């Protein structure tokens, strides 16, 4: 049984309860996706920033190179959060 058939069966046989459970699962999944998906980038960016500040304090003459690498690493770490936002938007808007 595919997803569309299963949802149609739930809605037709379950009535309002079926729709309520469907939307409850959909909203809960989107919330968990963003909550857990934003935690990793936040911790990663904090670690990157702390390490970069420590490296700049040890070698001030390389601060330009370290700052460039820090910004690049922050951008890469942020992509995980953007992917989780994309999945949450798909869950909320694209699925029926």
Q: Is residue 69 part of a domain?
A: yes
Residue 70: what pLDDT? 94
Between the two ends of the chain, the Cα-to-Cα distance in Å is: 17
Give which of 87, 56, 88, 58 is closest to 71, Cα–Cα: 56
User: What is the tally of structural domains in the chain?
Assistant: 1
Q: Is residue 62 part of a domain?
A: yes
Please report which confidence band the pLDDT of residue 14 belongs to, taking 50, 70 and 90 as the band edges: low
Q: Is residue 91 part of a domain?
A: yes
Q: Range of 81's domain?
A: 49-96
Q: Would you state the structure tokens that stand for residue 34, as one six-digit string?
A: 């963003």
Q: Is residue 71 part of a domain?
A: yes
Length of the chain: 96
Angle between helices 3-14 and 16-58 (to 10 degrees): 130
Q: Is residue 19 part of a domain?
A: no
pLDDT in tens, 63-86: 999 999 999 999 999 998 999 999
Q: Is residue 30 part of a domain?
A: no
pLDDT in tens, 34-68: 999 899 899 999 999 999 999 999 999 999 999 99
C-alpha 88/C-alpha 52 separation (Å) is 31
Residue 9: what pLDDT? 77
């Amino acid at each position: 049984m595919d997803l569309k058939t299963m949802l149609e069966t739930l809605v037709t046989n379950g009535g309002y309860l079926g729709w309520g459970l469907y939307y409850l699962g959909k909203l809960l999944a989107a919330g968990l996706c963003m909550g857990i998906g934003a935690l990793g980038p936040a911790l990663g960016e904090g670690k990157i920033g702390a390490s970069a500040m420590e490296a700049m304090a040890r070698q001030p003459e390389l601060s330009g190179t370290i700052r460039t690498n820090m910004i690049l690493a922050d951008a890469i770490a942020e992509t995980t959060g953007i992917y989780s936002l994309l999945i949450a938007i798909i869950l909320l808007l694209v699925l029926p």
